[in-house]
Amino acid sequence: MEEVHGQCSCGAIGYKFSAKSLIAYQCHCSICRKATGSAFSTTLLVPERAFTWLRGEKGISSYAKENGYKVNFCSCCGSPVPNKFRDFSLLCVPVGSIDGAPHIDVAVQLYLGSRAQWDSDTLTGRQFHEMPRLDEVLEFLGVHGQR
């Protein structure tokens, strides 16, 4: 059993959970793209009994749609944090909020029919292991010196 810790960007909200394995799904729907500001969301489902809030639970804000979609986020920094999965005894844990680099398997891809046209399985464009100099990035993007 592995103990996993996570938190929001500012650290005000923290949690932990235990799991035998970390198996996630990725959702490519337009709602998840807007919520994450990215091509998709990556989420683990964790049993409530294995999950504990460590701090900041009162600092959580929520947004829900009639279709059942819900997201919790830190009221201070806006980072997505875990939320209850509908009426199941499960929590949705946004993988990006997990500390460290545990091994996570993505087992399911959802809403590929509404996948963003710029989202591709193959990596294209310039690729960097770490962040290069900012002027290099701006040059690659064609926005030289636009302050």
Tokens 């946004």 — which residue? 94
pLDDT at 130 over 60: yes
Distance CA 40, CA 50 (A): 26
In angstroms, the Cα distances linking 113 to 12, 49, 62, 64, 123 are 36, 34, 27, 23, 20
Query: What pLDDT digit, counting tens, does each position of 5-63 carry?
Result: 999 999 999 999 999 889 899 999 999 999 999 999 999 999 999 999 999 999 999 99
Each domain of the chain, given as residue ranges in start order, spans: 2-115
Q: Which fold has domain 2-115?
A: 2.170.150
Say what the pTM is: 0.85
- Predicted confidence band of residue 143 (pLDDT cuts 50, 70, 90): low
